[in-house]
């Protein structure tokens, strides 16, 4: 049932010009950034050769491309997710899903899976660019895996937050702005809050704050470090907001 709903969402995404536009714009931005980095790398390559242990091309070209991708997703995911619940509510098509023998959990997980499949396409396109370099040089595949996993986890967090925002209103644009605001607030506040809480010795609140700071959890994996705590925090963030969205949908049935 989750897959049926995911398929429907994916189809709806590709039926709208928005999804194609997002794919195009993301690819243009990332492609330009990637080529700039590659150009820079080629220029400083002679100097790098003089170092005893120089950073590789993966670190200098792929990692910044992934960082750009993370920033681009911050804008793209709220736009892609905004319609998923808000528009169904506005067009009163949500009734179809709610009247069908599927649970609220199935509905939200189906929508999330559909969105993640689309985001997986973006991530794979990002991955394709550094992979092209493998034809001419040796890549650090460990780091590349770490970066891809980090970007996927980040996308999952963004997607869950955006879906929750979409469940709060019947106006898609409002949902997108809300999601963007929430994500931005998390990026700014999550990090400083975590640091200051830890400085005061409040370990438990600091741990909670880290769940709410997706970029902080992106960094270790982005450096090729398998930080299981950061991975768990990323998954928790996604799970929390998915549960909130399910509860929100259920609450609508109760409140009317």
Partner 1 sequence: MLPTRQAAIGQLFQPSMISNDPALTICARGLSRRFGTHVAVKTLDLDVRRGEVLGLLGPNGAGKTTTMQMLTGNLAPSAGEIRICDIDLLEMPTRAKACIGYLPETPPLYRELNVREYLELVARLHRVSRTQRASAVAVAMARCGLADVSRKLIGSLSKGYQQRVGIAQAIVHEPDVIILDEPTVGLDPNQILDIRALIRELGEKHSVILSTHILPEVEAVCDRVQIMHHGEIVFSNTIAGLRELQSGNAMTISLHRPPDIDALRAVAGVAAVEALGEGRYTIRYMPHSDPSEALVSAAGAGDWGLYQLTPAQNSLEDVFVQLTRQDVAQQKAEAA
The binding site for partner 1 (CB under 8 A) comprises 1, 4-5, 8, 11-12, 15-16, 91-103, 253-254, 256
Query: Taking CA 194 as the corner, what is the angle to CA 190 and CA 200, rounded to the nearest 5 degrees?
Result: 150
We find the least distance from the C-beta atom of residue 158 to partner 1, in angstroms, to be 24
Q: Which two tokens stand for residue 94?
A: 């949500």
Tell me whether residue 22 or residue 183 sits nearer to partner 1 (CB atom): 22
We find the least distance from the C-beta atom of residue 102 to partner 1, in angstroms, to be 6
We find the least distance from the C-beta atom of residue 92 to partner 1, in angstroms, to be 4
Tell me whether residue 13 or residue 74 sits nearer to partner 1 (CB atom): 13
Tell me whether residue 51 or residue 254 sits nearer to partner 1 (CB atom): 254
We find the least distance from the C-beta atom of residue 8 to partner 1, in angstroms, to be 6
Tell me whether residue 9 or residue 191 sits nearer to partner 1 (CB atom): 9
Tell me whether residue 101 or residue 201 sits nearer to partner 1 (CB atom): 101
We find the least distance from the C-beta atom of residue 247 to partner 1, in angstroms, to be 14
Tell me whether residue 5 or residue 183 sits nearer to partner 1 (CB atom): 5
We find the least distance from the C-beta atom of residue 151 to partner 1, in angstroms, to be 29
């Amino acid at each position: 049932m989750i897959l049926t709903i995911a398929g429907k969402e994916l189809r709806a995404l590709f039926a709208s010009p928005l999804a194609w536009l997002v794919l195009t714009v993301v690819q243009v931005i990332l492609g330009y950034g990637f080529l700039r980095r590659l150009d820079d790398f080629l220029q400083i390559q002679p100097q790098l050769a003089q170092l005893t242990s120089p950073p590789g091309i993966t670190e200098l070209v792929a990692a910044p491309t992934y960082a750009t991708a993370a920033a681009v997703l911050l804008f793209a995911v709220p736009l892609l997710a905004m319609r998923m619940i808000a528009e169904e509510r506005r067009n009163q098509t949500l009734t179809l899903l709610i009247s069908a023998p599927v649970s609220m959990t199935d509905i939200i997980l189906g929508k999330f899976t559909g969105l993640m499949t689309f985001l997986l396409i973006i991530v794979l396109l990002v991955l394709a660019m550094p992979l092209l370099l493998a034809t001419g040089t040796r890549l650090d595949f460990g780091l590349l895996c770490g970066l891809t996993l980090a970007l996927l986890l980040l996308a999952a967090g963004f997607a869950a937050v955006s879906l929750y925002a979409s469940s709060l209103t019947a106006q898609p644009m409002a949902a997108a702005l809300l999601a963007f605001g929430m994500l931005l607030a998390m990026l700014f506040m999550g990090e400083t809050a975590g640091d200051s809480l830890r400085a005061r010795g409040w370990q438990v609140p600091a741990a909670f704050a880290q769940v709410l700071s997706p970029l902080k959890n992106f960094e270790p994996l982005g450096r090729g470090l398998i930080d299981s705590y950061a991975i768990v925090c990323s998954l928790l963030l996604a799970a929390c907001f998915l549960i909130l969205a399910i509860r929100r949908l259920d609450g609508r049935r109760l409140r009317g």
